[in-house]
Structure 1
Amino acid sequence: MSSLPLLLMIAVAIGLALWNSARAAAERAETLGREACRAANVQWLDQSVHATGIRLRRGRNGWLGFERSFRFDYSRDGSDRHVGRLVLRGGELVSFSGPLPEYETLH
């Protein structure tokens, strides 16, 4: 009896799990980028984030997991273009550079 079908099913299951976690991270990054742009009152461009890197890192609990980097573009006045970056470890935001929230000034 060949174990090839079993190995193939395991490989497919691992591939689907990795794809699913990558999609979940991209959706989380998209939400965080959109919310940051809204809070800073800037225009979020291209309506998406772009994955720029992935690596294995230890989380707070000591377990190895994926750390994924993303970039997004935003504009302050519609004629400029800036790059925002964020890093997720699991679903947790560990690094962010981009538009800062607008705060009302006290008079």
Structure 2
Amino acid sequence: MPIKSKKNKKRFSKNKHIILILAIVLLIIFLTILFENGLIKNPLDKLVKKTQEINAKDLCSIIAGNIIHTVSDEGECKLQCRAECETRDLEFQKSNFQLIENDCNSCICYCK
């Protein structure tokens, strides 16, 4: 069984470190290319994006003395908000519905 000298061990250890560093650098470059080309979604995008506030319009009208709403409750507000966020390629976060007497209701969407 051959005895390895200390020089060979040091050289082998240095080579391992260099190969490891090169592999990490290549991996970072590869992932960056994938993120930039949109092949993989960047997980940091969600942290960086600001929440957008969108006002979903309640198209109300008076018919036979009654106000008819397109957004009459929290459920309809949430559905409309999901649709608004999707059309803008954003992710739905939450909705805020406010019932207003004798006027159009308020529905505010939060998308990210």
Q: Shared fold (TM-score greater than 0.5)?
A: no
More strand by share: 1
Q: Which structure has more helix as a fraction of its residues?
A: 2
